[in-house]
Amino acid sequence: MDLKEKTVAILKQYDVGTRFSYLPNLPKASVLIPLFVRDGDVHMLMTLRSLELRTNAGEVCFPGGKRDPSDRNDVDTALREAEEELGLPADQVDVVCTLFPIMNKSGLLVTPVVGFIDASFSPCPNPAEVSAVFTAPLEFFLKETDHSSYSSAGMSGLLHSFLFLDPESGSYYQIWGLTAILAILVSVLALRKKPEFEISFNSDNPESYFQHNLNKIISKL
């Protein structure tokens, strides 16, 4: 079994399927977390949002956005947004799993969709939405180096921030907030390793933490 097959088999164990279909009709969004294998390591593709955008301008994120009425499900949303933002055709994404939905700071219920893409994929970013595209190895998001954590009033659990130097462009990117949490989560699950820093969820059973947070939010609706 090669590295991609091994990683896919591991991540499929965390697919939530329709387990969260009971949730109330909240505003929904999805992000695609594109993975690929390069030089014996699993990497993830990330984007820098355009400064022209009204929300979260200039922030690092995964391709994604709000659910469209034409989208059949969360996977459709993630794939459509990735094609619009990066020119990534849906049929070039090997969807592996959907993970636990998480409420973002704007009140959207965000579902992460994990998929593998070919390492040779060359993005064609839409400049109205994306100003840069880069990739980072999953191992980076488990290291204490270039990592910091902090707490925020009204937020449950630690928040995280990374400063990543892209070796290809020489640019530095700050990765924080929900994007950092998702990067840590996928890295923990895929590599079956605990980070060198403290995290708020149990790396052996992360769903319980995110389920608890969702229940708290729903109880206030």
Q: What are 43-74's pLDDT values in tens digits?
A: 999 999 987 877 777 899 999 999 999 999 99
Q: What is the pLDDT of residue 199?
A: 93
Q: What is the pLDDT of residue 160?
A: 95
**Per-residue pLDDT at 25 exceeds 80:** no
pLDDT, the chain, mean:
90
Q: Cβ of 18: how many Cβ atoms within 10 Å?
A: 8
Contacts of 19 (CB under 8 A, 6+ apart): none
Is CATH 3.40.50.300 the classification given to domain 3-219?
no
Q: What is the pLDDT of residue 24?
A: 64
Q: What are 163-190's pLDDT values in tens digits?
A: 999 999 999 999 999 999 999 999 999 9
Q: What is the pLDDT of residue 151?
A: 80
Amino acid at 44: M
Contacts of 212 (CB under 8 A, 6+ apart): none
By CB atoms closer than 10 A (0-12, 13-18, 19+), residue 120 is exposed
Q: What is the pLDDT of residue 19?
A: 78
**Per-residue pLDDT at 12 exceeds 70:** yes
Buried-exposed string 178-197: b where 16+ CB fall within 10 A, e elsewhere: bbbbbbbbbbbbbbeeebee
Strands (E), the chain: 28-38, 41-49, 60-61, 64-66, 94-98, 102-103, 109-116, 130-137, 147-150, 159-165, 172-176
| d(C-alpha 10, C-alpha 99), whole Å | 13
- Can you tell me the mean pLDDT for 110-115? 96
Q: What is the pLDDT of residue 186?
A: 97
Q: Cβ of 110: how many Cβ atoms within 10 Å?
A: 22
Query: In percent, how much of the chain has pLDDT > 70?
Result: 94
Whether residue 56 contacts residue 91, with contact meaning beta carbons closer than 8 Å, is answered with no
Residue 220 binned pLDDT confidence (cut-offs 50, 70, 90): low
Domain spans, the chain: 3-219
**Per-residue pLDDT at 10 exceeds 70:** yes
Q: What are 186-208's pLDDT values in tens digits?
A: 999 999 999 999 998 888 888 88
| d(C-alpha 129, C-alpha 61), whole Å | 11
- Can you tell me the mean pLDDT for 140-151? 94
Residue 78 binned pLDDT confidence (cut-offs 50, 70, 90): very high
C-alpha closest to that of 32 among 106, 88, 104: 88
- Can you tell me the mean pLDDT for 133-162? 88
**pTM across the whole model:** 0.94
| d(C-alpha 127, C-alpha 183), whole Å | 24
- Can you tell me the mean pLDDT for 1-19? 92
Angle at the Cα of 131 from the Cα atoms of 39 and 186, rounded to 5 degrees = 45
